[in-house]
Amino acid sequence: MAFALSTMQLESSAFEPRGRIPAKYSGEGEDVSPALAWRDPPQGTQAFAVICHDPDAPLVKNGSYGFVHWVLYNLPASTTRLEEGADTGTAGANDFGKQGYGGPMPPEGHGLHHYYFWVLALDSELDLPAGLSLSEFLHKAEPHLVGMNRLVGTYQRD
């Protein structure tokens, strides 16, 4: 399947769609991941992954644009939610040079940024090693993608 939206739904109790992400979930706050929940995965889903990406970031690296804040994979099909500060699954590398979640922290004076939280449904459990970059993960996961959807939040430094 190509990278196209499915009927799967993604939401957060921390912010509304297109709403402001509270500072608690940013690099200026506690820097913990927000709670996420999803429903209606496509038939045949055997695993999930979650990604957070900021396409407004002024960064181009290895032919890709924006800034990767979170790559999380190896989530079993029984997973339908992540609690705040989740430590389940396997953490990939973010563009802060660390593994796990790194919250919004746009450059000062750069205005409003949009943060795309994606949930990806996969047709098999991939059992991937920790620390994969977004491009490494997508290279492995794309042939197994059966559905995806996103939740967009915003953040601007004061």
Question: What's the structural domain count of the chain?
Answer: 1
Whether 1 maps to a domain, the answer reads no
Those residues whose C-beta lies under 8 Å from the C-beta of residue 112, and which sit 6 or more positions away, are 56, 154, 155, 156
- Does residue 66 register a pLDDT over 60? yes
Whether 72 maps to a domain, the answer reads yes
pLDDT digits (tens, 9 = 90+) for 73-121: 999 999 999 999 999 999 999 999 999 999 999 988 889 999 999 999 9
Q: Is 126 helix (H, G, I), strand (E, B) or coil?
A: coil
The pTM for the full model equals 0.94
Whether 2 maps to a domain, the answer reads no
Q: Is 93 helix (H, G, I), strand (E, B) or coil?
A: strand
Domain that holds residue 108: 9-155
Whether 34 maps to a domain, the answer reads yes
CATH number at residue 52: 3.90.280.10
